[in-house]
């Protein structure tokens, strides 16, 4: 089922400067229908579902829906819901998307999806640095391992994935054994374009999407498109692996410090960076969610200074509190934002499929050089994923995992309150699959980690995520909780509380 994520602005009492929320929602849906981006026959979310998604009252959604019904944009089917009507004038309206995107926007049953898709595969943690050494393989596993990047493999739909894989192979399609299109399989790119629009408001066509075997390969291509002499800005703290990729591109990245809203624009300006890599939906590792005001400042920086924003919409599909914030890409009307996503957390890390959404100016560069690039993602995995998405099973799986992880998020917070109380500061916990703990007990990060290990619990330092960490920085540790059950989370936190007394 379609999800709708407009930018809604609450107005203060007595203010007449901004429209009521229901009119803003009505205008957004009407504009999307008239633009052909919500196609005829699409089923709209229920009032309850959309109200929860947007953190508004059901009355707000009901008022918007009733207005759309009265104007003929929607029609109702008993016991089924509200659907977008076929409007004659839309057939003659110019479409803002390409012919390829038009084809994929024919009447279909959109899948129920949540905020984007994107999580970076196998985020580097300090424990991974020596994972290829013999010593690393001998490290005993902790009973309760709060490893970031883990997913719950127990709830993966093995039977369905196997069914689609067999179906794909039983077709005796010799074409699958050949090299694929450099940008990836066309139908998968169409599915991704639909998904990104429905979940994150990203307007794109299949021609703008480049598929590859994970973030590292895609960022390497992006570096080539932007030029080897480009200076990149990176969030400080941020991903060591991405930092290494930018260093390999030719120049060490500039560290851009954060405040409570994310990357500081004044620091970005001083750095002289020409492109900046950000994780606005759930900054890694701090968990900061970049507000709309800072997103607009960042977009203005790119417009004014000819910069490029690389938006890694990491963890956006797992949000537990508050109203969803539109992606940077959906807010940027100047074509300066590259959108980056993977299926590593929303599906499984072993499916090495990621994607870039390139703005027109970079797409032109890619087309000139595209014959130099070979597709690195398995064609068979791409076709299996395509069938998984087309069937609606992908959306159902994502919703199940979102509900499962929310229960674990709730269990984690309850355990922290119960066993640690006010002694523990929790950072970046409103979304995503990890958080930071900051104990106020005088222990260093290494002491926290060592004492936790002795208690059978593995947590991870944040030191490696910094380029320029202050010497007297407060000790913090990172906990990922997606791979643990609610019971394991509770027992793990209990042991941490005892170890850190």
pLDDT digits (tens, 9 = 90+) for 271-290: 999 999 999 988 999 999 89
Neighbours of 255 (CB within 10 A): 18
Mean pLDDT, rounded, for 254-278: 97
Among residues 421, 417, 425, 412, which one has the least CA distance to residue 483? 412
Task: Report residue 466's pLDDT band, with 50, 70 and 90 as the boundaries.
Answer: very high
Residue 209 CA: distances (Å) to CA of 8, 185, 242, 482, 483 = 28, 10, 20, 29, 30
Q: Which residue has the tokens 């989370």?
A: 489
pLDDT at position 476: 92
Segment 155-181 mean pLDDT: 83
Q: Band the pLDDT of 108: cuts 50, 70, 90.
A: very low
> Averaged over 240-250, what is the pLDDT?
90
Tell which wins on pLDDT, 134 or 209: 209
The predicted-structure confidence for 374-427, as pLDDT tens digits, reads as follows 888 989 999 999 999 999 999 999 999 999 999 999 999 999 999 998 888 999
Residue 248 has pLDDT above 80, yes or no: yes
Region 327-344: mean pLDDT is 94
Which token pair is 222? 């992006």
Q: Is the dihedral of CA 486, 488, 490, 496 positive or negative?
A: negative
Q: How far is CA 356 from CA 218, 349, 351, 404, in A?
A: 7, 17, 16, 28
Percentage of residues in the chain with pLDDT exceeding 70? 85
Residue position matching structure tokens 């969030």? 235
* 183, 419 Cβ separation under 8 angstroms: no
Taking each continuous run of H as one helix and of E as one strand, the counts in the chain are 17, 16
Per-position DSSP letters for 147-185, written without gaps between them: -TT---GGGS-HHHHHHHHHHHHTT--GGGGS---TT--
Q: What is the pLDDT of residue 149?
A: 82
Which pair of tokens denotes residue 331? 């807010």
pLDDT band at 116 (very low <50, low <70, confident <90, very high): very low
**Nearest partner of 325 among 285, 357, 280, judged by Cα:** 280
The answer to which of 9-23, 161-175, 318-332, 468-482 has the lowest mean pLDDT is 9-23
Local confidence band at 179 (pLDDT 50, 70, 90 cut-offs): confident
Q: Do residues 38 and 63 touch, judged by C-beta distance below 8 A?
A: no
Measured CA angle at 213 (ends 210, 217), to 5 deg: 75
| Tokens describing residue 21 | 């929320």
Name which of 56, 119, 113 is nearest 316 in CA terms. Answer: 119
- Per-residue pLDDT, averaged over 134-160, amounts to 77
Q: What is the mean pLDDT of the chain?
A: 84
**How much is the average pLDDT of 54-68?**
86
| Distance separating alpha carbons of residues 473 and 438, to the nearest angstrom | 11
User: Domains of the chain, with CATH numbers?
Assistant: 21-94 (1.10.10.10), 159-390 (3.40.640.10), 396-499 (3.90.1150.10)
- How far out from the chain centre does Cα 287 lie? 13
- Distance in angstroms (rounded) separating the CA atoms of residues 460 and 486: 20
Q: Is the pLDDT of residue 20 over 60?
A: yes
86 confidence band (pLDDT: 50, 70, 90): confident
Q: What is the band of 459 on the pLDDT scale with cuts at 50, 70, 90?
A: very high
Lowest mean pLDDT among 108-117, 229-238, 247-256, 451-460: 108-117
Distance (Å, rounded) from C-alpha 300 to C-alpha 302? 5
In this prediction, residue 171 has a pLDDT band, given cuts at 50, 70 and 90, of low
Q: Rounded mean pLDDT of 101-118?
A: 33
Q: Output DSSP code: residue 467.
A: S
Alpha carbons 5 and 324: distance in angstroms, whole number:
7
User: pTM, whole model, 2 decimals?
Assistant: 0.76
Instruction: Kindly report, residue by residue over 26-51, the tens digit of the pLDDT.
Output: 889 988 888 888 988 999 999 989 98
DSSP string, 254-284: EEEEEETTEE-HHHHHHHT-SEEEE-TTS-T
Angle at 222 between CA 221 and CA 228, to 5 degrees: 90
Residue 139 has pLDDT above 80, yes or no: no
Q: CB under 8 Å to 330, separation ≥6 — which residues? A: 5, 200, 201, 202, 203
Choose among 20, 85, 8, 10: nearest CA to 50: 8
Six-digit token string for 183: 């940008």
Using pLDDT thresholds of 50, 70 and 90, give the confidence band for residue 6.
confident
Q: Which residues pair with residue 343 across a beta bridge?
A: 119
- Cis status, amide bond into 237, omega within 30 of 0: yes
- The phi, psi pair for 318, rounded to 5°, reads -115, 90
Q: Given a cut of 50, is residue 239 above it in pLDDT?
A: yes
Asked if 7 and 331 count as a contact pair (C-beta separation under 8 A), the reply is yes
Helix ranges (H only) for 256-359 are 265-271, 292-305, 328-331
């Amino acid at each position: 089922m379609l999800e709708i994520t407009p930018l809604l602005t609450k107005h203060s009492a007595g203010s007449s400067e901004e429209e009521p929320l229901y009119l803003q929602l009505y205008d957004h849906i009407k504009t999307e229908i008239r633009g052909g981006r919500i196609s005829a026959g699409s089923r709209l979310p229920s009032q309850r579902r959309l109200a929860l998604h947007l953190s508004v009252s059901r009355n707000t959604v009901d008022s918007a829906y009733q207005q759309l019904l009265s104007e003929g944009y929607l029609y109702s089917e008993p016991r089924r819901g509200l659907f977008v009507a076929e409007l004659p004038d839309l057939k003659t309206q110019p479409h803002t998307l390409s012919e390829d995107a038009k084809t994929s926007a024919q009447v279909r049953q959109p899948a129920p999806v949540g905020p984007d898709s994107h999580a970076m595969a196998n985020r580097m943690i300090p424990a991974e640095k020596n994972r290829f050494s013999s010593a690393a393989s001998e490290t005993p596993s902790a009973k309760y391992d709060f490893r970031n990047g883990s997913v719950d493999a127990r709830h993966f739909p093995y039977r369905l994935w196997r069914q689609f894989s067999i179906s794909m192979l039983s077709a005796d399609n010799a074409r699958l054994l050949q090299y694929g299109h450099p940008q990836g399989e066309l139908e998968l790119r169409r599915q991704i374009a639909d998904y990104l629009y429905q979940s994150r408001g990203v307007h794109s066509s299949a021609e703008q999407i480049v598929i590859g075997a994970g973030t590292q390969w895609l960022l390497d291509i992006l570096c080539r498109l932007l030029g080897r002499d480009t200076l990149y800005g990176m969030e400080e703290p941020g991903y060591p692996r991405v930092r290494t990729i930018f260093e390999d591109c030719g120049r060490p990245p500039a560290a851009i410090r954060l405040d409570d809203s994310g990357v500081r624009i004044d620091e970005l300006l001083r750095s002289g960076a020409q492109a900046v890599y950000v994780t606005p939906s759930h900054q890694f590792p701090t968990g900061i969610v970049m507000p709309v005001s800072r997103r607009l400042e960042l977009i203005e920086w790119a417009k004014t200074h000819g910069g490029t924003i690389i938006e890694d919409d990491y963890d956006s599909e797992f949000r537990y509190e508050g109203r969803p914030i539109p992606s940077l890409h959906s807010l940027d009307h100047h074509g300066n934002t590259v959108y980056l996503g993977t299926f590593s957390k929303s599906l499984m890390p072993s499916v090495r499929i990621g994607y870039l959404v390139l703005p027109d100016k970079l797409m032109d560069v890619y087309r000139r050089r595209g014959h130099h690039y070979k597709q690195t993602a398995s064609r068979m995995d791409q076709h299996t994923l395509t069938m998984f998405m087309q069937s609606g099973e992908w959306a159902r799986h994502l919703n199940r995992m979102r509900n499962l992880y929310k229960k674990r998020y709730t269990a984690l917070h309850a355990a922290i309150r119960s066993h640690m109380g006010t002694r523990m500061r929790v950072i970046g916990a409103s979304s995503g699959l990890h958080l930071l703990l900051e104990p106020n007990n005088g222990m260093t990060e290494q002491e926290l980690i060592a004492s936790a290990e002795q208690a059978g619990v593995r947590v991870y330092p944040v030191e490696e995520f910094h380029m320029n960490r202050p010497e007297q920085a407060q000790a913090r540790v990172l906990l990922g909780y997606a791979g643990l059950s609610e019971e394991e989370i509770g027992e793990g936190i209990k042991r941490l509380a005892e170890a850190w007394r």
